[in-house]
Amino acid sequence: MKTKYIYIYLFIIFTTFSCESFLEEEPRSLIAPETFFASENDARQAINGVYAILKNNSIYGQVGLDVFYDNGADIIEPNRSANIYEPIGNYSVNEAIADVSIQKMSVSDTWKDLYRVINNTNIIISRVTDNDALTADAQTEIIAESRFLRALSYWHITNLWGDAPYYTEALGIDEVKVLGRTDEATIISGILEDLQFAQANLDDAYIGDDSGRASKWAAAIIEAKIYMQQKQWQQGLDKCLEIINQSPHSLLSNYADVFDPDNEYNSEIIWSLDFAKDIRGQFEEGTVRPDGSFPSVFGNGNWRPSMFAPRLRDEPKNSVERSALANALEARGEAFNGTGLQVASKDFAEKFPANDLRRGMNIVDNYLGFELNYPYMAKFWNLSTTDSPRFNHKDNRLVFRLADVHLMAAECENERPGGDPTVAYGYIKEIRERAYETVAEAEAIKGLSQQEFREAIYDERKWELAGECMRRYDLIRWGILLDVVKDVEYRFWNPASNIRSWHVKLPIPLQELQTNPSLLESDPTNNGYR
């Protein structure tokens, strides 16, 4: 599904609800039941439209969910006091700020787009079920994919807001806008049902034009993460081992190869959202002008690598050498034409072990012999001016990979009753061995006590999964976010002074509260923000 589709009217129906109009449009009035989904192709085009929403800047496009899962922790910060990320990263967000959108990135944008996925998948499921125009197998597969995408969205919603509106029917807008918040445990129960159905009915893997679709193993990894959130360690371990032993995925022998833009469907990747250079319509809205054109500075492909790439105006440390650096880059067909808004934090760069071979992909402070002002994360940048020009990258968006599952298995084994830290080490043995030159270095965390291994896993997930939208989620589920943030020194912000206990969740945006006062009935404090 390398985004070659030109979405037909179904895409337009499903994705033209703007942020402002999501609760003002009536889907049933836009879809004629007697003509909708007249074929399997119609239904599959609708699913493509849902994937397009996932690629929006507010979810997996540009930076999107990175803002909530990585900023404000101890790995990533911008190289300047950027307005886009400050409310989350510096813990100054409130209900009103949550509504402020810059380049379609805000708490409000993410809330609305996640619910747009839910709304659309509910409609797809209702139109596909018992639809004689589709074979029974096609109905099952499309429903399974829809239920996965719905579960994914609700999982993010519970991670970010906890209790939230929950519905699985194709409701009208008038019905949706009066829904109160359902408790998180009930939503999680529904998510697990969706994930289990998806895992039972989706394929092991997708190839060719379908390579960007989520497989059964993407559903399985979220299920395992939920068990870990619930501290159901044995169930989490069982699910992780199912993925490790039964999926077609395997660890690569070289860490850097995992992020090779020319091998982005490698065996370690469980799911990545596909993007393509110069293809319009692969994500919805973004910064497209009302007439359908893009501002000249922006391209049609993935934006995210530009967020991690340097700006030439910031580099190198010796500004007198800037022209020489530009010439050296040009000779390689490269450019520092990114934004520098996502760089390795000062704390992360200082603490990353010098003997860890993963450091070179996570901390780049010298390039082509030029000392840089900031440490960049090369695993996510693409400097090629031909294949990956600014804001028009062909690079996929990595969502889940197998190394994460191995780390999860190790944690589950260490935490479960009767667990053995030495057995737990076995699940990450390959990860450690590819990260160090010698066996002795790799085995430095072997033979630890349960508490020592627990703390080693805290760091191991940090070094292995840096910038992959895991860190803040991990710190929250471990119950140590406040302790960690209070010990982190940022370049421009001071989150240690601002963070409070309620910052483990986001506020529901003010606009949503004004539209639907029922959202405050079960929690008048709005997650502690009032």
pLDDT (mean) for 448-467: 98
Window from 1-5, 179-183, 475-479 with minimum mean pLDDT: 1-5
Give tens-digit pLDDT for 135-162.
999 999 999 999 999 999 999 999 999 9
Q: Taken in order 468, 470, 475, 476, is the CA torsion positive or negative?
A: positive
pLDDT of residue 327: 98
Gap between the terminal Cα atoms of the chain? 44
What pTM does this model have? 0.91
Question: CA 263, 267, 271: angle at the middle one, nearest 5?
Answer: 85
Window from 191-200, 348-357, 383-392, 492-501 with minimum mean pLDDT: 383-392
Q: Are 79 and 373 in contact (CB under 8 A)?
A: yes
pLDDT (mean) for 53-79: 90
List Cβ neighbours of 520 (8 Å cut-off, separation of 6 or more): 513, 526
* Of the candidates 108, 103, 101, 142, the residue with the CA atom closest to the CA atom of residue 10: 142
Give tens-digit pLDDT for 95-107.
999 998 776 678 9
Is residue 494 helix, strand or coil? coil
* Of the candidates 283, 239, 479, the residue with the CA atom closest to the CA atom of residue 397: 283
pLDDT of residue 23: 40
Q: Does 360 or 21 have the greater pLDDT score?
A: 360
The residues spanned by each domain of the chain are 304-379, 401-498
pLDDT of residue 64: 84
Q: Taken in order 169, 173, 178, 184, is the CA torsion positive or negative?
A: positive
pLDDT of residue 84: 79
Residue with tokens 């029922």: 518
What count of residues does the chain have? 530
Give how far the C-alpha of residue 463 lies from the chain's centroid of Cα atoms, to the nearest Å.
17
Helix (H) or strand (E) holding 29: helix 27-30
pLDDT (mean) for 401-409: 98
* Of the candidates 73, 81, 157, the residue with the CA atom closest to the CA atom of residue 466: 73
Per-residue pLDDT at 29 exceeds 80: no
From residue 341, alpha-carbon distances to 78, 367, 377 in Å are 4, 18, 11
User: Which amino acid, one-letter code, is at 35?
Assistant: T
What the block records as the tokens of 5 is 């589709």
pLDDT of residue 295: 36
Per-residue pLDDT at 11 exceeds 50: no
From residue 37, alpha-carbon distances to 1, 43, 73, 124, 404 in Å are 20, 6, 45, 9, 38
pLDDT of residue 104: 67
Residue with tokens 């999964």: 465
Looking at mean pLDDT, say which of 53-67, 191-205, 271-285 comes out highest: 191-205
What's the mean per-residue pLDDT of the chain?
A: 89
401-498, which class in CATH?
mainly alpha
What the block records as the tokens of 94 is 């409130």
pLDDT of residue 2: 52
- To the nearest 10 degrees (0 to 180), the angle between helices 216-229 and 402-415 is 30
Give tens-digit pLDDT for 263-303.
999 999 999 999 887 765 444 443 333 333 333 333 456 88
pLDDT (mean) for 197-217: 95
